[in-house]
């Protein structure tokens, strides 16, 4: 079967009073394409379809979307991985305002990221060369620094859907721990203080949707657990 | 257009990749009113895809390492048309720029002694080519570009840089004196057009690999800054020099880092032979990229290619073992599984030379100031215009860039441009205000698309352009093919001038952006084609069947493409570094 049925979420705020699903037939010529390739073929037919894309190899984080119910990156998701009943259903990432079609407003997501002060803080004078760090200490950053800010995790998280203004969300918290875990950073206390309230971190209920969808195989829930431990040992 | 809003800054930086963010950081720290205008959220820029590392003599792998050795390698790698004063600046300032990145938090991999991990890369030597292979490329596993770009973005947040995210720069605004006084820009989210005024406009718009059908480059690499500068009448330097990376994944084009070969991987043909031993007996798989790419094509042409069609070769990594691969090259393992359906722990990766990097670009001095020529052929600084990163041609890469030198270029020359702009703003710069007709001129192209009704589609024309470039301006070139390519591009210019933008809506209209990008692809492609036809020799990445030898008598020069009359002139290469002796041109072997 090389004729693929694709159902795509459409909404243009200038012309549409409400969003709707539009059907497309795509001839895949028997190939197992990436979802991004399918979107490009649709755009060649209908140039008005809007979606973000850049690197097309899973490192820039532009094309996070919901594919047959699961968040992921369109460029590294083969149609065969998500297709159901020979149908591909593409929707924008859930929980964020839609600007147009598959493009969401990432403002709240970025705001939570920025709130975590996602940069190294070290008030001691820097040496003439690099700061030294043992390979073991550097290993602690693996699984944290690789985040591409695609928002697949935070927009799969019910706690973030409910409180995107107050709950930092898995992506932001992963970043928070990336700096807490860095032996070169010495802002541990102020970073933890930012997370003590009932919402910022403690709204995580350990549902682990974030882990299930992360296209880079990262584990925000584990990072959140580590921060909880730090907060608890800080309190005692 | 009387309702057009004006946004005014001291400096506007177009492009949010490594060089733009590094320039912005310098200016934000200085307190100048600076904005970064980027068509994508900055961490979506193509710098994020850089893998293997940033080459710099920080003396970690080898305490005796010397920036002069790095400079020698860079000049030789560029087949002697890199400007030696610029290569000197790159290599000597490099360590400072790399240590700054580490202090900002870049998570470099480490040696046991806690210093930054460095791996061998192609074209690296100790003791001016006499001391064997060097290991000079500083790495964060195989995600160095990602780590670098995020670190720079984060530090811009820390320093309160203003970001105009998802704004698209359309054209430069030049005043009656020919000075650049800002640009016209489109807010992608709303469709609003604004006149962005600035005393310094920095083009940090990256490369344009999308002129080719097969490229490692992101979809956004459409040469926007090059197109803007050419339309404003400014010349381009060395546009015939395009690097074809030896190891793009066959079929998909995604990059497989040279670091794979640095860590001990090697290329094999269908007989399982490590063929680079024949082409580069000393450096083997770590010869210059142009040398390796040509060898791969020769293997295929001589019937030793792999696969059903015998049209690619294989990169063997399995002998390195799972532990090394997962530790040093985890991203490559992931990419190979996704795009080549092979696990490099067990099987080799099918690879083919793939367009990767534009050595040419906007000619600049080491301060990032863009250059044109006066009537007598002398360099002339273009007031108000700066360029850095891949869009610029300083030139440190000459006819062929060494692996790991692009990330260094971004941070060293992004920083240099920032420092210079701060200084000149402090000294006071004053250019004539743009008149309404100056602004209207910069709006002409946008208006043309908005008024179009009927005509060919952007997607079809883009595919045709990419096919022309792929067929006539690839790894090997020759006169008749290129002449045909130039003719076809001229026809394509007519057709693109009449092409149709079907979607005229305002909210997040990506069709409009793609139409505007197509104009830029055409400008880059044409400059490339005409310069390639003109350079009648083989040097670095520019390899001609009809002129197989390097011609130092006539072509130890930069080419300079002039858009007004589509001609190419020559510009002198700098052979006078300030603190070291000139590296005299030699036969280039590895």
Domains along chain A with CATH numbers? 3-104 (3.10.20.30), 107-235 (1.10.1060.10)
Q: How long a stretch of residues is chain B?
A: 590
Spell out which residues of chain A touch residue B140, defining contact as CB-CB under 8 Å: 145
Task: Supply the pTM of this predicted model.
Answer: 0.97
- Choose among B109, B219, B338: nearest Cβ to A58: B338
Q: How far is B148 from chain A (nearest CA, A)?
A: 11
The complex's ipTM?
0.98
Q: Which helix (H) or strand (E) holds A170?
A: helix A169-180
In three-state secondary structure terms, B122 is: coil
In three-state secondary structure terms, B566 is: coil
Strand pairing report for B54-55 and B137-138:
antiparallel
Nearest to B459 by CA among A8, A43, A63, A37: A43
Q: What is the pLDDT of residue A2?
A: 76
Nearest to A185 by CA among A176, A197, A196: A176
Q: What is the pLDDT of residue B314?
A: 97
Three-point CA angle B131, B132, B133, nearest 5°: 130
**Phi, psi at residue B381, to the nearest 5°?**
-75, 130
Q: How far is A232 from chain B (nearest CA, A)?
A: 27
Q: What is the pLDDT of residue B86?
A: 98
**Cα A50 to Cα A69: distance, rounded to the nearest angstrom:** 19
Q: What is the pLDDT of residue B435?
A: 95
B105 beta partners:
none
8 Å CB contact of A51 and B510: yes
Q: What is the pLDDT of residue B1?
A: 45
**Phi, psi at residue B134, to the nearest 5°?**
-100, 165
Provide the 10 A C-beta neighbour count for residue B296: 25
Q: How far is A142 from chain B (nearest CA, A)?
A: 9
**Cα B243 to Cα B539: distance, rounded to the nearest angstrom:** 12
Q: What is the pLDDT of residue A234?
A: 86
- Choose among A12, A44, A185: nearest Cβ to B459: A44
Three-point CA angle B69, B70, B75, nearest 5°: 100
CB B382 within 8 A of CB B234: yes
Spell out which residues of chain B touch residue A57, defining contact as CB-CB under 8 Å: 49, 252, 254-255, 335, 338-339
**Cα B50 to Cα A126: distance, rounded to the nearest angstrom:** 27
SS3 annotation, B359-377? CCEEEECCCCEEEEECCCC
Q: How far is A31 from chain B (nearest CA, A)?
A: 13
**Which of B59, B158, B219, B252 to mutate: most A Cβ within 10 Å?**
B219
Question: Would you give per-residue pLDDT tens digits along chain B (590 residues)?
Answer: 457 999 999 999 999 999 999 999 999 999 999 999 999 999 999 999 999 999 999 999 999 999 999 999 999 999 999 999 999 999 999 999 999 999 999 999 999 999 999 999 999 999 999 999 999 999 999 999 999 999 999 999 999 999 999 999 999 999 999 999 999 999 999 999 999 999 999 999 999 999 999 999 999 999 999 999 999 999 999 999 999 999 999 999 999 999 999 999 999 999 999 999 999 999 999 999 999 999 999 999 999 999 999 999 999 999 999 999 999 999 999 999 999 999 999 999 999 999 999 999 999 999 999 999 998 999 999 999 999 999 999 999 999 999 999 999 999 999 999 999 999 999 999 899 999 999 999 999 999 999 999 999 999 999 999 999 999 999 999 999 999 999 999 999 999 999 999 999 999 999 999 999 999 999 999 999 999 999 999 999 999 999 999 999 999 999 999 999 999 999 999 999 999 999 999 999 99
> How far is the CA of A117 from the CAs of A40, B130, B149, B186, in angstroms?
36, 48, 16, 30
**Cα A138 to Cα B139: distance, rounded to the nearest angstrom:** 13
8 Å CB contact of B108 and A130: yes
- Choose among B99, B113, B511: nearest Cβ to A47: B511
Check CB contact of A130 with chain B, cutoff 8 Å.
yes
User: Where would I find the H helices in B132-223?
Assistant: 144-158
- Choose among B147, B252, B458: nearest Cβ to A47: B458
Q: Which helix (H) or strand (E) holds A107?
A: helix A107-115
Q: Which residues of chain A have pLDDT under 70?
A: 1, 236
Residue of A nearest to B117 (CA): A135
Q: Which of B210, B261, B289, B477 is catalytic?
A: B289
Taking all residues of chain B, what is their mean pLDDT, rounded to a whole number? 97
> How far is the CA of A20 from the CAs of A12, A90, B365, B413, in angstroms?
10, 12, 54, 48
Three-point CA angle A133, A135, A137, nearest 5°: 60
Q: How long a stretch of residues is chain A?
A: 236
DSSP string, B42-109: GGGSGGGG--S-EE---SSS-TT--HHHHHHHHHHHTTT-S-HHHHHHHHHHHHHHHHHHHHHT----
Q: Which residues have a Cβ under 8 Å from the Cβ of B544 and sit 6 or more positions away?
A: B476, B477, B478, B479, B536, B537, B538
Check CB contact of B452 with chain A, cutoff 8 Å.
no
Give the pLDDT confidence of B450-464 residue by residue, as tens digits.
Answer: 999 999 999 999 999
B571 tagged catalytic: no
**Cα B336 to Cα B333: distance, rounded to the nearest angstrom:** 5
8 Å CB contact of B41 and A59: no
Residue A205 half-sphere exposure toward CB, CA atoms < 13 A? 10
**Cα B236 to Cα B133: distance, rounded to the nearest angstrom:** 34
Q: How would you class B281 by CB atoms within 10 Å of its CB: exposed for 0-12, middle for 13-18, buried for 19 or more?
A: exposed
**Cα A222 to Cα A228: distance, rounded to the nearest angstrom:** 10
Nearest to B529 by CA among B489, B581, B575: B489
Q: What is the pLDDT of residue B3?
A: 73
Tokens found for residue B120: 């061998």
SS3 annotation, B483-515? HHHHHHHHHHHHHHHCCCCCCCCCCCCHHHHHH
Nearest to B153 by CA among B45, B74, B293: B45
CB B84 within 8 A of CB B582: yes
């Amino acid at each position: 079967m090389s004729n693929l049925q694709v159902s795509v979420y459409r909404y243009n705020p200038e012309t549409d009073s409400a969003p709707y699903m539009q059907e497309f037939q795509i001839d895949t010529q028997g190939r197992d394409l990436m979802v991004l390739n399918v979107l490009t073929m649709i755009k060649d037919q209908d140039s008005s379809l809007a979606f973000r894309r850049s690197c097309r190899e899973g490192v820039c984080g532009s094309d996070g979307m919901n594919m047959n119910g699961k968040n992921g990156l369109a460029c590294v998701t083969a149609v065969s991985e998500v297709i159901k009943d020979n149908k591909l259903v593409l929707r924008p990432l859930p929980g964020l305002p839609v600007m147009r079609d598959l493009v969401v407003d990432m403002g709240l997501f970025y705001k939570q990221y920025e709130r975590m002060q996602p940069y190294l803080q070290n008030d001691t004078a820097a040496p003439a060369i690099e700061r030294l760090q043992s390979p073991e200490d550097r290993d602690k950053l693996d699984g944290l620094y690789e985040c591409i800010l695609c928002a697949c995790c935070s927009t799969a998280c019910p706690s973030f859907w409910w409180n995107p203004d107050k709950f930092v969300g898995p992506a932001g918290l992963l970043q928070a721990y990336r700096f807490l875990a860095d032996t070169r950073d010495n802002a541990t206390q102020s970073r933890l203080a930012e997370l003590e309230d009932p919402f910022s971190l403690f709204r995580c209920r350990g549902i682990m949707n974030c882990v299930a969808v992360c296209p880079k195989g990262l584990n925000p829930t584990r990072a959140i657990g580590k921060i909880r431990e730090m907060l608890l040992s800080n309190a005692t | 257009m009387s309702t057009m809003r004006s946004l005014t800054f001291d400096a506007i930086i177009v492009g949010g990749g490594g060089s733009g963010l590094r320039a912005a950081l310098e200016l934000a720290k200085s307190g100048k009113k600076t904005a970064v205008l980027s068509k994508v959220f900055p961490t979506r820029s193509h710098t994020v895809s850089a893998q293997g590392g940033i080459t710099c003599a920080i003396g970690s792998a080898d305490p005796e390492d010397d920036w002069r050795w790095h400079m020698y390698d860079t000049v030789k790698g560029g087949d002697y048309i890199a400007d030696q004063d610029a290569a000197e600046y790159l290599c000597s300032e490099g360590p400072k720029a790399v240590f700054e990145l580490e202090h900002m938090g870049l998570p470099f991999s480490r040696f046991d002694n806690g210093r930054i991990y460095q791996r061998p890369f192609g074209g690296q030597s100790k003791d001016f080519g006499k001391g064997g292979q060097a290991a000079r490329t500083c790495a964060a596993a195989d995600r160095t570009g990602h780590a670098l770009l995020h670190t720079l973005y984060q530090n811009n947040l820390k320093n309160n840089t203003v970001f105009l995210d998802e704004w698209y720069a359309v054209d430069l605004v030049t005043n009656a004196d020919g000075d650049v006084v800002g640009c016209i820009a489109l807010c992608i989210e709303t469709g609003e057009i604004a006149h962005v005024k600035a005393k310094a406009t920095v083009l940090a718009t990256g490369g344009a690999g999308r002129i080719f059908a097969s490229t490692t480059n992101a979809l956004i690499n459409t040469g926007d800054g090059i197109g803007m500068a050419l339309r404003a009448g400014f010349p381009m330097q060395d546009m015939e020099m395009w690097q074809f990376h030896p190891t793009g994944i066959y079929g998909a084009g995604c990059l497989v880092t040279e670091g794979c070969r640095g860590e001990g991987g090697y290329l094999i043909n269908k007989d399982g032979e490590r063929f680079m031993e024949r082409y580069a007996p000393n450096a083997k798989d770590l010869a210059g990229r142009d040398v390796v790419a040509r060898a791969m094509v020769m293997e295929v042409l001589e019937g030793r290619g792999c696969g059903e069609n015998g049209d690619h070769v294989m990169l063997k990594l399995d002998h390195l073992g799972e532990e090394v691969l997962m530790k040093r090259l985890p991203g490559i393992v992931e990419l190979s599984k996704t795009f080549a359906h092979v696990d490099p722990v067990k099987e080799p990766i099918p690879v083919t030379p793939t367009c990767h990097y534009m050595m040419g670009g906007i000619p600049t001095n080491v301060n990032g100031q863009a250059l044109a020529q006066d009537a007598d052929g002398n360099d002339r600084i273009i007031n108000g215009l700066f360029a850095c990163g891949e869009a610029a041609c300083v030139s440190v890469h000459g006819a062929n860039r060494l692996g790991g030198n692009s990330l260094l270029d971004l941070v060293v020359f992004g920083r240099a441009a920032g420092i210079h702009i701060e200084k000149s703003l402090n000294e006071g710069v004053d250019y004539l205000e743009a008149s309404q007709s100056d602004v209207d001129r910069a709006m002409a192209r946008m208006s043309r698309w908005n008024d179009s009704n009927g005509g060919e589609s952007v997607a079809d024309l883009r595919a045709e352009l990419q096919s022309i470039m792929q067929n006539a301006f690839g790894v090997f070139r020759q006169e008749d093919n290129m002449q045909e390519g130039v003719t076809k591009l001229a026809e394509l210019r007519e057709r693109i001038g009449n092409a149709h933008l079907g979607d005229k809506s305002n909210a997040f209209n990506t069709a409009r952006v793609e139409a505007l990008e197509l104009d830029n692809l055409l400008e880059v492609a044409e400059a490339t084609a005409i310069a390639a036809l003109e350079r009648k020799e083989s040097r670095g990445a520019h390899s001609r069947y009809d002129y197989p030898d390097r011609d130092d008598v006539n072509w130890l020069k930069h080419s300079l493409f002039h858009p007004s009359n589509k001609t190419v002139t020559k510009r002198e290469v700098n052979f006078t570094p300030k603190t070291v002796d000139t590296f005299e041109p030699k036969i280039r072997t590895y």
